[in-house]
Structures are given as C-alpha cells and as structure tokens.
Chain A
C-alpha cells in the first residue's frame, strides 16, 4: 500500500475507525452518483491508511458538506468531518488541482477578511478570491462567473460597496493571534 502506516491522527475525533461499511452515507449523499469513490469507500481507504487515494478522488470536491451522512451514520462516524480533513490534506500535500486548491483557499481568504474587518466584506472577498484564482490559473470563466449577478444585486440594494467593520478591530486581531496554533520551536524562544 502506498501510504501504509500513514498516521491517521488528522482524523482523530471523526470516529472513522468505527465505520463498518454499511454504505448509508453513500446511499443518502445527494452527490454520490457523481462521485468516483463513494463516501463509504473513502472511509475505508482512510481506515486502510490509503489516504492518498482518497485525497485524489473527485468525490471530496463534490461533497457539499450537508451533513446528511454524519446525521444518519449508525456508527456516529463524522463522515462529513472526514471529508473536511481529506480536502485540507489534499491541499497541504499538493494533490489538489488548482481549482480545488482555490476552493479550500477560499476559506483562508475568508478568515483573512474577517481578521481585517471583524465582519465579512463580501465584495472584497469575492474580488480577492477571484483575482487570486485568476493569477493562479488564468481562469476567465471563474473571474466572470457571478459578476453578471452583481448589477442585479446592486439594483436590489443587496450589495454594499462599502463593507461593514467592527469598532474594536484590535480585539479581533488579538483573538486571531491567540488562536494561532503554536509552532514547535517558536514556543521555546
């Protein structure tokens, strides 16, 4: 096995070891018919330490995080959580495609945005996300997608060009700083 012995620490708390392959996750998943590997098989791959194969599947990118699998799992495996971890790992280990990487990076961009303003600045977020993506893979369709909606939103007073900010942005930044995972080595110095 390519990843035999691979540590599954990242999956701690998901209960993936309890999966007994009943397939209820795959049965209820709204996206499973599009997936190359159904959710139950992804869980099995994780159990076997073959996370590499799981990370390369398209399935983890079809997942819409609707929690149906987790809610109905007879063994209370957090299947949805396993999907999260697989996506993160796929990005960290560089097996995700540029577009997939960008999807995960959206969350980073989102948090950066929150750290700056305390609240979401939708326009800036979208712009940043798209420009970053464009610079990354020159995807014009991505850049254009939804932009046609912008005027319609504006017309309805749903898009604010000036985003909201919290007053006490200092505390937001300090909260973020305190929540940053301690890096080994740095802690000692």
Chain B
C-alpha cells in the first residue's frame, strides 16, 4: 500500500469535492492512499501572491512544515494553483537559508522545503503506466480524449518542470494507457480564464468557447483535465457558452482520475461524475440523470 501526503486545498473541500472523491476512489483501487496533511491552511492562492510576498511563502510553508513534521516526503496537491504555490515556496526556501530561518519562525515550525509536491498527473506517473495498464478492466476503446492542461499546470516553466510547457504529454500517456485515444489539438495549454478571478464573464466564455470548439473540431469525445478550476469553468459554464455564442457544445469534462477510475471498472457515481454538469451518454459511463 503506497501512501502519499495529501493537500486538498480549499477547492477540493469546496465546490470541487467531486474531484476529491474521484481521486481518492480511483487511487484506492490502485492501492494508493492519500493521508491528509493535518490541519492544513489555505495556500493563499494568487491573492497572497499579488498582495503580500512574505505571506505567499509563509502560508504554503506552514503546510510544508506540517508535512515535514509528520514525515510526508511527498505531498499530492491536486489543485494546480495550490501545487504551484507550494512548489514556489519550496524552491524559495531551498535556495535561501536566511529565508528558511525567517519563515520557520513565522510559521512556528521548522521548514526546509524538502517535501516533494506532486500534482495529480505525477501521482499516476509514480504509480506507473504499466501498473495502470495492467489494472485496466474496461479499456476506454474508441474514446477520443482531448487532454487539457490550461495554464497553471505547466506555467511558469521556471518553477514547474514536470512536463514540457509548450507541448506537454504526460496526460496523453496516462490516457493512452487506459486504451483511449489522445487527440492532437491546439488548445492544450491555452488558458480557460478561470485561473484568475479577475477574468470577466465574457472573457471566460470566449476562452472556454475556443477550447471547446477546437476540441470538437479535432473530434474529441471529451476533455480531460487535472485542474478543478478548469473543470468548473469548462463544465459548469458550458451551457452559458452555448447560450452566449449560439453553439451546441456537449463535451463532458472529466478529471484524469475519472477516466482512470472508469477504466478500472469503477462506477461513475463512485467517482462523483454525476456531480458534473455536462453528462453525455457514451461508452464511458452509463447515462445518468440529466438536468
């Protein structure tokens, strides 16, 4: 039984609790447990980043400190905003001894920044594509998947180096291991506008529409994401996009763990797929009650 530290962040304990359920169920089936970082605090997100530099290091550092104290060498932060803030803090701490001392005092815990921070894709990489391939019970045959990374998973590349920031491929590898077909498309790393609350409504709809359009143009059956904000934005807002632009997108937006879970034979409800807004009857999962 493999165990990782787990930093859910506010999203996975809030509007994106479907992501948590999906990830946990899926990983459980693969023999991986997530142990929640005890009494974690919010990473501060872009707000701390914009307003108070010290705070933007201290809040993530508090969590890194708890992880170190409790012996988590690797912590999974499925929300890319959280993982980016944790990684940025980690790198800053690793590089600067003075900062380490100062921050350790601020957060009331010794923190070195040695904790490895993983996103959801990396967890599947750690488990291993061969292991996943072997565990697949219901291969996602004839399913064309557009892997969507958005902005925060790979940018800024100076901090996040787990995959190529222009042409990432890590999700495609997982998806292909499930028997699905990863489509080549052009919007894998274009922003959907949700990462920042600054974006105005029309902006978000416009960006989402471009992404959905290109995925459809490349004959994708669904889009797979690893970011709760992208999921909410493309899924929940899809009807608004359709209304605003007079189009008829009907693309389910899955978390990567949803697809892995489905391929492992897990019921869609156990993966909380029924909490998604766009649910299209497909080979992927039995139809669920539409709205």
Contact = CB atoms under 8 A, between A and B. Distances in A.
DSSP class of A's interface residues: helix, strand, loop or mixed?
A: helix
A70 B39 contact: no
B41 A64 contact: no
Contacts of A106: 47, 197
A34 B204 CA distance: 13
Interface of B: 10, 13-18, 39-42, 44-52, 54-55, 58-59, 62, 105-108, 151-152, 154-157, 165, 189-191, 193, 195-201, 203, 207, 210, 236, 275, 277, 291
Contact of A111 (B51, B201, B277): B51
A171 interface: yes
Contacts of A70: 155-156
A108 interface: yes
A140 interface: no
Contact of B42 (A108, A114, A167): A114
A167 B54 CA distance: 23
Q: What is the interface residue range for chain A against chain B?
A: 35 or more
23 contacts: A30-B207, A62-B200, A67-B151, A67-B152, A68-B151, A68-B191, A70-B155, A71-B155, A103-B197, A118-B39, A122-B14, A152-B236, A158-B17, A158-B18, A159-B14, A164-B10, A171-B108, A172-B62, A175-B41, A175-B106, A179-B54, A179-B106, A181-B54
Contact of B62 (A66, A67, A152, A175): A175
B193 A64 contact: yes
A119 interface: yes
Contact of A171 (B44, B55, B62, B195): B62
B277 A152 contact: yes
A38 to B, nearest CB: 16
A32 to B, nearest CB: 12
